[in-house]
């Protein structure tokens, strides 16, 4: 799913679009950095060692050549940062609640999520009642695991994936890192519990990190011409 991508001009292209949009709104140049600094190969390797997984090549190259965080589809990318010696993905500068990738199993696609929850509950000695059309067993997790139920459920639902972007109005973007769909993007509305939907282009092809990001950039560039 990953290809060699030339990211060399992307940082400047995004910055040019940002400034063009500010001018169109009658604003002056931004005084805030558009991107966070790019990561060094040693820093990326340290993060990969911490999580015990290799990041998808396209995203890894983006971190090294463009930045550890910055503008992205919808709103912004989450930022890969080292916080008190531990790497995690941060949204809106909330370093108290970084997303910590759990690579212990493949990302569970939506069609397998109901079975995954049932298996976890049964492994804990709990037999969940049959439910028609309800794929979420969050209440059962709370009953079995107490105060830790919510965290266990949410971590398990995002296992094998990175929370890569917050897209506004409860929408989030996820980059699959472990499993057969490694390198692909998923969209999810966190306000409820809908499926994780594959992120696709105008032709219905599933996005990888590069196609997702570059498609967004090209559409923004076209809108400013």
Q: Domains (ranges, CATH) in the chain?
A: 10-107+158-224 (3.40.1580.10), 110-151 (no CATH)
For residue 163, give the H/E element and its range: strand 161-168
Q: Tokens at residue 179, please? A: 């499993």
- DSSP string across 120-154: HHHHTT--PPP-SS----HHHHHHHHGGGHHHHHH
Pairing of strands 197-198, 185-189: antiparallel
List Cβ neighbours of 110 (8 Å cut-off, separation of 6 or more). Answer: 135, 195, 196, 197
Q: pLDDT tens digits for 89-131? A: 999 899 999 999 999 999 999 889 989 999 999 999 999 988 7
Residue 130 to residue 95: CA distance in whole angstroms? 39
Entry pTM: 0.91
Give 38-53 pLDDT, tens digit per residue. 999 999 999 999 999 9
pLDDT (tens digit per residue) in 130-151? 876 666 899 999 999 999 999 9
Output the six-digit token pair for 128: 């969940």
């Amino acid at each position: 799913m990953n290809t060699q991508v030339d990211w060399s001009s992307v940082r400047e292209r995004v910055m040019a679009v940002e400034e063009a949009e500010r001018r169109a709104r009658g604003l002056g140049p931004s005084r805030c950095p558009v991107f966070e600094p790019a990561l060094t190969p040693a820093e990326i390797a340290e993060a990969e060692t911490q999580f015990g997984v290799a990041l998808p090549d396209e995203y890894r190259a983006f971190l090294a050549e463009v930045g550890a965080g910055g503008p992205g589809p919808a709103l912004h990318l989450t930022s890969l940062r080292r916080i008190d010696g531990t790497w995690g993905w941060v949204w809106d500068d909330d370093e108290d609640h970084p997303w910590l990738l759990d690579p212990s199993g493949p990302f569970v696609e939506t069609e397998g999520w109901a079975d995954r929850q049932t298996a976890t509950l049964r492994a804990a000695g709990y037999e969940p009642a049959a439910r028609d059309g309800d794929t979420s067993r969050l209440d059962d997790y709370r009953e079995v695991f107490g105060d830790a139920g919510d965290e266990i459920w949410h971590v398990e639902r995002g296992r094998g994936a990175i929370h890569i972007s917050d897209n506004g109005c409860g929408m989030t973007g996820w980059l699959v890192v472990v499993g057969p769909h490694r390198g692909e993007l998923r969209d999810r509305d966190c306000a409820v519990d809908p499926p994780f939907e594959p992120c696709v282009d105008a032709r219905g092809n599933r996005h990888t990190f590069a196609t997702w990001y570059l498609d967004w950039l090209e559409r923004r560039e076209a809108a400013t011409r």
